[in-house]
Amino acid sequence: MAEFFEDLAIGQVLKFGHYAVTREEVIDFARKYDPQPFHLDDEAAAQTHFGRIAASGWHSCAMMMAMLVAHFQSVDHQGLGSPGMDEIRWLVPVYPGDMLRLETTVVELTPSRSKPDRGSAVTRIEMFNQHDVCVMRMVSRTMVRRRPA
């Protein structure tokens, strides 16, 4: 059964996802997209507040997105894309060996005035590690298809 705009509720909390962070993936992502020494080299990372190789914040966003899309596919979410994020905060480093999961909270729902086939959902997305420490928080605005009449 598909998940439409009308199926969402303010205050609704969902917990899902399972993402194992590997050293190889952290280094590969960093080589391609964020080649700062503390994402690539143990010695360089040891000289920073990270203490060891840490995932790029942008990699953390990508891992979060992978879990979101997997969830959306599992519930046939009728998302129509996003005009952007209102906030992204990297709160705690993500390290190789971490096991990540997500919690989402719907904070605002607005039917579109100009396009009656959709609405806008604002969601707070929090990513937690295996110790239930919030490592990243993001506020997202997403367009969602309304249920056909």
In angstroms, the first-to-last Cα distance of the chain is 16
Give the pair of three-digit tokens for residue 15. 């917990």
Cα-atom radius of gyration of the chain, to the nearest Å?
17
- The whole-model pTM stands at 0.94
- Split into its structural domains, the chain has a count of 1
Residues 6+ apart with CB under 8 A from 87: 137, 138, 139
**Average pLDDT per run of 10 along the chain, which is 149 residues long?**
93 97 98 97 95 98 97 94 94 98 98 96 98 98 94
- CATH number at 49 reads 3.10.129.10
| Share above pLDDT 70 across residues of the chain, in percent, rounded to a whole number | 100
Element (DSSP H or E) covering residue 87: strand 84-90
Query: Domain span at residue 102?
Result: 5-145
